[in-house]
Structure formats: structure tokens, C-alpha cells
Structure 1
Amino acid sequence: MPDTTTNLPLRQRPIDIFFAVMFTIFIVTSCIADLLPTIGIDFSQPNGTFLVDSNYWYAHDADPLFMHPPVWMRIVTGLSAFVYLAFYLVLVPALLRGWNWIQLPAVIYATAISVITGVIVFGVEFFGEPEFQTQNPVKFLAFNLPYVLIPLLLLVRMRKPQPFTRRF
């Protein structure tokens, strides 16, 4: 028997508009921030280019682990620069158009990023090797907490079957 459930129109799903905006921002940050350490571009000193200078400013002020990433961190940024980026490019239209099939990939993504970023990266920044611990935890959290909280909120949003047929 075919499913005859009708999705709510986008104007009745403001939370999905919020998520679409946030994940569009994540697209930009994946391209700007995570691509550079993944492909090995040195941003330990500003050089007058936007990408290098913005990554230097962030790493210098908030995230020393990001400034000189070990191999495992380059794998984490590579996931963001390539795998998560591809997911965001699908997720944004799925949210706006109400494609219910995005539910399972969204749950997998939210779980993965929460563990990788939330546990591993935050753990090293706060409890790991002293040279990688952030000296400015408020700034680090201000920059990075949304990258864990927004996916967790998406996980809550996608908790029920046919997520676009009901309000959040």
C-alpha cells in the first residue's frame, strides 16, 4: 500500500529553514576552514590571502590543534572537507523540499560528527597533550560548539519516520 502522507509546506516548517541556513554556512566553512589542513597548506603565518589568513586567525586565537594538525586531525578535516561537504550539498535541498529519505543519512551524519568532533577533537583540545590544549576555551567553544550542537538538533529533528509531515 503506497504512502499517502503529505509533507507540510516549507513555510510551516521554520526549523527546516533554520537547518538549511546553518548547513549552508557549514558548506562554506567546510570549503574555507577544513580544506586547507586536509591538503597540507601551511597557515602557521598570515600571508595576505583570505583563506590562509582566516585559518591562521582562527587557529592562533582559538585552536592550536588546528594550527599544526597531526595526521589524525587531517583525517577529521578531510571528512569535513569532502564527505560532510557532499552530505551538506544534498541535505540542504532535502530539508527545503522535504525529502523524507534524508532521515537515515542525517542520523548517521549527526552521530558520526558528534563522536568525531564532540568526543575526539574536544577531548584533545581540553584534556589531551598540553601543546594542543586551547588557551581560550570560550573562543574555541564559540567557534566549534555549533558544529556539534546543530547536528545533534538535526538528530532530534529526524527522530520520527516521515519527519517532514509534522512540525518539530
Structure 2
Amino acid sequence: MRAVDVLLVLFQCYFMLMNVTVERCYCHDALKPGDARFLMPETLDFAQQHNPLFLSRPRWMQVATCISAYGFLPFYIIIGLAALLDRWASLRVPIMFFIGAKGYAIGFYHLMEFTSETPPPNLVPYFATELPYILSIVLVLMQLAKAGAAAQKVKAS
């Protein structure tokens, strides 16, 4: 297994953890002091310091987080399996559709974050949490391109 695939498997595990913990909780309820569920005290602390828009929980962000929490998880599993089993070529189509949706979601999210009345005050911690999502898209696209090139070589020979 290549290092990039190991990294992608780890990223997908992280994303799934966020889906079933932070995102699921945020989908159904606002961040509030005293919430002792797994990762919620840390999420509240982070939002208070570095992401006031997330803390304010506008309706569009709640809905987007619900979609991510419940709709994106199966695709993280698919990408994890593609990386783990080197099945990039055979899983190319659903992964490409998902990467398109994920890219759009991340682009929209950052546009809204940085054009809101409360943009992130501290960019380093903000992007430290966002970077895995962005990097994952780039790495997945690289793996898909390699798989496509390998498939073309096989067809040509």
C-alpha cells in the first residue's frame, strides 16, 4: 500500500469520525456549554475561539452539516476502500461524483465563511482543521488520474 493511500485511509477515518460525532450533533442541536458528548466540548471551545460563524449556526450551515453528516459518510467508506484495496479504477465514477459534490460544498462553505459578518479571526487554526478536507480532494483526484492513466495503458496494449 502506497503512502498516499495510507494517508487517504486515515483521512477517511477522521472524516467518518467527524460525521458520526460533531456533525451529527451539530445537525440536531446548537453548540452549548455543558454538552459532554464526545468531541463536543472541544468543538465548542474551537468555535468560540476560531469559527464564530459555525458557533452562530445559521440555518444554511445546519442543513449543510446534516447533509455532510448523513450523506457523505458512505462515500468516505468508498474512498477508504478504494485506497485500501487499490480499487480506484473500478470505483472511479461514484468517487468522481462525490468529489464534485464535496468540492462544491467546501467552496461554498469557505465563500460563506470569509464573506460573512464574522469571518474566522485566526486563519492558522481554522485551516488546520479544514486542510485535511482540501488535501484529501487533491490526493483523491491524483489517485483517480493515475488509475485512469493505468487503465488507458492496459487498453492500448
Settle same-fold status: TM greater than 0.5: yes
User: Cα offset for 1:163?
Assistant: 7.0
What RMSD in Å do the two structures reach over aligned CA positions? 2.1
Aligned to 1:133, the other structure's residue is in SS state coil
Alignment partner, residue 62 of structure 2: 74
Hey, which bits of structure 1, 4+ residues long, moved more than 4 A?
A: 160-165
Q: Which of 155, 160, 168 in structure 1 is aligned with 2:141?
A: 155
1:59-105 Cα distance to aligned partner (Å, 9 max, x none): 11221121122221112211221111111123212321122322122
Aligned length: 150
* Greater helix content: 2
Unaligned runs of 5+ in 2: 152-157
Q: What percentage of residue pairs aligned between the two structures are identical? A: 23
TM-score, length of structure 1 as denominator length: 0.77
1:33 equivalent to 2:22? Answer yes
Aligned to 2:93, the other structure's residue is in SS state helix
CA distance in 1, matches of 2:149, 2:48: 41
CA contact (8 A) 1:61 1:139 kept: no
TM-score, length of structure 2 as denominator length: 0.82
Unaligned runs of 5+ in 1: 1-9
Q: Which of 31, 43, 48 in structure 2 is aligned with 1:60?
A: 48
Q: Which of 77, 83, 87 in structure 2 is aligned with 1:95?
A: 83
CA distance in 1, matches of 2:46, 2:150: 36
CA distance in 1, matches of 2:7, 2:35: 35
User: Cα offset for 1:158?
Assistant: 0.7
1:14 equivalent to 2:20? Answer no
CA contact (8 A) 1:65 1:125 kept: yes
CA distance in 2, matches of 1:101, 1:83: 21
